[in-house]
A and B are shown apart, each in its own frame.
Chain A
Amino acid sequence: MAAQVIGRRSPQDAAAVAEHQRRAQRRGRIIGIGRHLVLALICFILVAPFYYVVLASLKDSTGIFQYPPKLIPFPPYFGNYERLLTDTAFPRWMLNTLFVATSVTVCKIFLDSMAGYALAKLDITGKRIVFMLLLLLLMVPFGALIIPLWTLVYTLGLLNTYWALILPALANPLGVFLMRQFILGLPRDLENAARLDGVSEFGIYWRIILPLIKPGLVVLAVIIFTDQFMSFVWPLISTSSDDVELVTVGVAALRSHGGVDYGLWSASAVMSMIPIGIVFFVLQRQFLARSLAGALKQ
């Protein structure tokens, strides 16, 4: 508000300007602190349940019901984890889940990038129709498919096998769109230059396209891997024996069949979060890239 004159200012003007700036800075700092406070509070609310469950998993049955509850588990009780790993099929479930998740991820990486490449750059009659179909069924609720899908898998004799868990997962079109976007973002004429240079059509995909969309492949892998870890409905209805069951189904079974055992339940909850937790911690940026990419696309 004080007059900004190029050149000399009177001492009163200078003081007024300085005071205004100080006040603005202070206001800015307060707002900044306020933001941090609110965010910290929200984060606390979001994360507190996890700590609580970890806590419960490290207590024995008396400790759990104790009031007031101990906030720091000392000494920690590992009995729940022991029981989880030896009395239940949890290790097997985890193995199954890792196997299925990895298989689906690896398959999808190639399937989706090839399909994305085709949609982005190749000549196909009915390309638009295919695209529309993929887009339309992208949001299909899984619950609407369980009957025919179950029948199909049953008829193929694949119930209760790894195939039942892997094959239907390959049908999700999300990856194709992601790959297509990434490939469209590559410099123009790359494939044309490669064609003139003597690269075969598959060579273009393998040597040129794939290496250049590596970041996109990582994002895709992360999305698919996590999705597989979280899937529940389908594994629930397509598998019934421990040697094929996934962690999600096994944990739910503990809840509904095993009688009340809070210690075991909390231990299972914690253990099932570890793999994804680790991957998330290591690959944070790629995880968040999914939401970011979705937003920027609009």
Chain B
Amino acid sequence: MTAPNPPVLLEVQGLVKHFPLQRDPLGRGGGVVRAVDGVSFQVRQGETLGVVGESGCGKSTTARLLMHLIDPTAGAVVFDGLAVGGRDLGLKDFRRQVQMVFQDSYASLNPRLTIEDSIAFAPQVHGVPKREAIERARDLLARVGLQPTRFAERYPHELSGGQRQRVNIARALALQPRLILLDEAVSALDKSVEAQVLNLLLDLKDAFDLTYVFISHDLNVVRYMSDRVMVMYLGQVVEIGDSETLFEAPLHPYTRALLSSVPAMDPDHRTERPALTGDPPNPINPPSGCRFHTRCPHAEAVCAQRMPTLGVRHSSRTVACLMHEPGSGHSGAPALEAVA
């Protein structure tokens, strides 16, 4: 909360998605999967927000909710100060400004369309004439490092995974969006290709003044890409903070556990912190109180009863943990402020 901050581009308020479960023929079951349970955050113009968490924590559901590919149970998305999906900012206008790159580079391209047709599809939807859209597609191919003469009229199955993901990036850029959601966009690529695509993403961000929401389970990649990082656990946000501070001094026990699961490059720096064991609990019946208390090394009785609130604990850090909540009743909680 210092310095002139760029304006908030995307604001998410209390996003909730519950997937109802089918009842069996006897009428039993029929609970809900709390895939995303009250997620709020902001993305500022020009920054990259990294989103990390174990598989099943609601990262991808959050991305799909942001794009309105699925309807939220509750919550609102505000883009550039306008509520999305209402009269202020229609879905179609919103989708012109926000685009998404999916994990599976092959499944996200229509096998029957040539590369240039795939890229030119979205602009045509928004009223760009076909000729112009194709020219834009070819420019973009060149921009993402694929020679248009070699690739424009090819089909997706003739390209490698890295090339296809470049095509998907070009497709996302075709509408000249302001924000791009990258949902595990590089996770399926080889390490060397991944690095190239990451650098391409960084170049494009500068060239087109983009803002990224970068979802990944790979902590090193998130650290490399992100200005700020959001950590999710079982459909909730447990910690948000500047990338460097968060990686250097994580506050939430889950973030610490997550970070200690990254193999250290330097053998002298091996940590002996308890890594996470077991799978995350079932999101159908999440644990009471703090959802992490079942796996938390610092859990106390109070953790099973009180739900921690996501509050600003440090200069630029927001954490949901009773240990860092003043007067929460946890033995490690500070009296008023400042945390180790």
A, B assembled together: no
Q: Which residues from chain B sit less than 8 Å from chain A, CB to CB?
A: none
Q: Which residues from chain A sit less than 8 Å from chain B, CB to CB?
A: none
